[in-house]
């Protein structure tokens, strides 16, 4: 069964604007599965922004959100942000709102799942997105040849 546990938590006393947010940084087998998908399917080598890759990442985010919502039932919202911890994008994470207005906490969370859940996630991603990615690559290649 999928589960999230807090590894570490600390207050962020930085008073600059935007730094009073509650931020969750996670380690997840679903993110690892998505990274493996990218490596196996050459996503890192693409010279265009892939809509299919964005969809694959959203699948992992949705799965991780389920675990986070169980861990933080008092959260009024939890949203993924590529720039959660830094405006340059080096610290992606989840921004969380807590009531009554608890602010400025950072959490490091491990999401765990049994091997069947992770394998089912991988198979679901592969079955939905491998052929779509191949089609997107072929279409983009055709567009480049036509414009040359």
pLDDT digits (tens, 9 = 90+) for 61-104: 999 999 999 999 989 999 999 998 888 889 899 999 987 777 78
Number of structural domains in the chain: 1
Distance, CA of 28 to CA of 112 (rounded, Å): 7
CA quadruple 17, 24, 11, 74: dihedral sign:
positive
Domain that holds residue 137: 3-147
Phi-psi region of 101 (alpha: psi -120 to 50; beta: other; left: phi over 0): left
**pTM for this predicted structure:** 0.83
Residue stretches of the chain with pLDDT short of 70: 13-19, 148
């Amino acid at each position: 069964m999928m589960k999230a546990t807090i590894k570490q938590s600390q207050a962020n006393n930085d008073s600059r604007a935007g730094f009073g947010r509650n931020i969750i940084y996670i380690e997840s087998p679903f993110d690892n599965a998505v990274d493996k998908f990218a490596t196996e399917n050459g996503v890192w080598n693409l010279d265009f922004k892939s809509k299919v890759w964005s969809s694959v990442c959203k699948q992992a985010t949705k799965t991780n959100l389920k675990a986070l919502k169980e861990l933080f039932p008092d959260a009024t919202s939890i949203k993924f942000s590529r720039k959660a911890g830094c405006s340059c994008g080096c610290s992606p994470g989840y921004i969380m709102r807590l009531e009554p207005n608890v602010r400025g906490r950072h959490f490091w969370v491990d999401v765990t799942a049994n091997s069947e859940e992770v394998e089912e996630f991988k198979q679901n991603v592969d079955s939905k997105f491998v052929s779509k990615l191949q089609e997107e690559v072929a279409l983009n290649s055709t567009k480049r040849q036509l414009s040359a």
